[in-house]
A = this chain, B = another copy of it.
Amino acid sequence: MSVPFGHKFKETYFTYLDKAVVPINHGSYGTTPTAVLDEQKYICEQHEHYPDKYEYFEAASKYIEQVKLLGDYLGLDYHNLALVSNATSGINTILRSFPFDFSKDKILFHSTSYGACANTVKFLHDYYGLQYDVVDLVFPMEDDNEILSKFEKKLSSTRYKMCMFDMISSMPSGQLPYEELIKLCHRYDTLTLIDGAHAAGQVDLSFINELKPDFLVSNLHKWLFVPKSCAFLYVDPKYHEIIQTLPVSWNYTQKYENKRDLLLNKFAKTGTISYSPFLTIGKAIEFRKEVCGGEDRIRKYQMDLQQQAIPVIIKIFGPGAKLLQNKRSNLNPPGMFNIKLPVLNYNQKYEILLKKMILDGSFFASFKQLCDHKMIYQHKVYAPFSLHNGDLWVRFSVQIFNEIDDYVIGAKIVAQVTSKVLDLELAKLSINDSKL
């Protein structure tokens, strides 16, 4: 812990990261410390050193060793954890092996659910007839009670077999009252499938022990410094037998005598894969403990820097900019927050474009694509924006290698690039789009 967090820390421990990049979008794909990536490369070599030995005798026990380290670190019983490629794979694992009664079962999720997960439900609807319903969430909600009552309105009106909800939504980012949502679902005898894609490495997960959700998944490559890609799946012991690996493999017909180790053994080997991201979990945890000084120290740095960055970005974005926040001020996890980009306020004509974006998803997508490309290729500074509730919200990530300057540069570039692209689009409109 001799190197302080910030740029010096980045230069020391994240040497694979392009030095010219201002990394303020950690939330999308994570970044990997040099020591952890080197471990991954070493594991790839070890796999090739003697593939028979590795596959027949070592991979499964090494996998279990890592799950144990993860359980210890998160304060969870490792017998209930399985490693999968990413949160989407984890959600698919559950949804596509849970034995729904397609003739009547119904699942509930929310409008800000991650697209890939919502799509998995839609797929099960389209291909197998699973019914679903959506809770419409529009950020910022007044407070947690508003969210809970929206869910309860649905849960109390119809019987839902399962409810899928986020811990921390992705775009815009925002924490949901996940503990209360678990209790609510329990009251209505509805199973809980929790997408904690952004959870591990940002928030404490030991509530699982007390509240006992049915299923929960969290990426480890986003905030826990494991390389791409790795996530863990929590499965309540009631379902260790019924939930199957994705893909279904040899293990499906395997007899496992020890029921307590069933989930561990079933997921330890699902065919020939690269175990290399899974097997670096211990190294990532070691980095967080020994180099970073533990979760509390990490979160404190993130929260402090977030508090500093918010007013600075608002000032740069100009009149009309504001933080996405609710009345209880509990929307933001340590690593992410959203600021409204006040398009309307600095040029009335932009209103036309904003309306077009709201009405035409593909126009928004191509506008975003153009902005993203400019930010990434011309400036090496990128923060993603989304269209939510009629406004553009920019999501900023905070990591232990950031300093306040990153947000000064970031906010300026985001504002400059979007305004430039909006001008270009406006010029095109005046020539081509006589309707507007």
Contact = CB atoms under 8 A, between A and B. Distances in A.
Contacts of A37: 44-45, 48
A346 interface: no
Interface stretch (A72-80, A205-213, A375-383): A375-383
B229 A273 contact: yes
A349 interface: no
A116 interface: yes
Contacts of A88: 247-249, 270-271
Given A44-B40, A273-B86, A252 B122 contact: yes
Interface residues of A, number: 73
Nearest to A89: B247
A91 B55 CA distance: 21
A41 interface: yes
A390 interface: no
A87 B382 CA distance: 37
B28 A52 contact: yes
Residue of A50, A57, A92, A120 with highest tally of chain B CB at under 10 A: A50
Contact of A85 (B40, B54, B271): B271
Contact of A91 (B18, B28, B48, B247): B247
A28 B372 CA distance: 44
A275 B48 CA distance: 18
Interface string A45-66: 1011111111111000000000
Residue of A89, A249, A252 with highest tally of chain B CB at under 10 A: A249
A219 B271 CA distance: 12
A136 B53 CA distance: 32
Contacts of A127: 97, 99
A192 interface: no
A248 B124 CA distance: 10
Contact of A116 (B18, B21, B255, B271): B271
A16 interface: yes
How many copies of the shown chain assemble into the complex?
Answer: 2
Given A96-B96, A228-B47, A272-B86, A116 B56 contact: no
A323 B293 CA distance: 62
B49 A221 contact: no
Nearest to A25: B52
Residue of A250, A272, A372 with highest tally of chain B CB at under 10 A: A272
Given A47-B228, A92-B247, A115 B272 contact: no
A29 interface: yes
A330 interface: no
A415 interface: no
Contacts of A250: 115-116, 119
A29 B52 contact: yes
Contact of A274 (B21, B274, B380, B382): B274
Ranked 5 nearest A-B pairs via Cβ: A92-B247, A119-B252, A29-B51, A16-B48, A116-B249
23 contacts: A17-B50, A21-B50, A31-B48, A32-B48, A37-B44, A44-B227, A51-B228, A53-B377, A56-B376, A88-B248, A89-B271, A92-B247, A93-B247, A96-B248, A97-B127, A115-B250, A119-B250, A122-B252, A219-B272, A221-B272, A229-B272, A229-B274, A274-B277
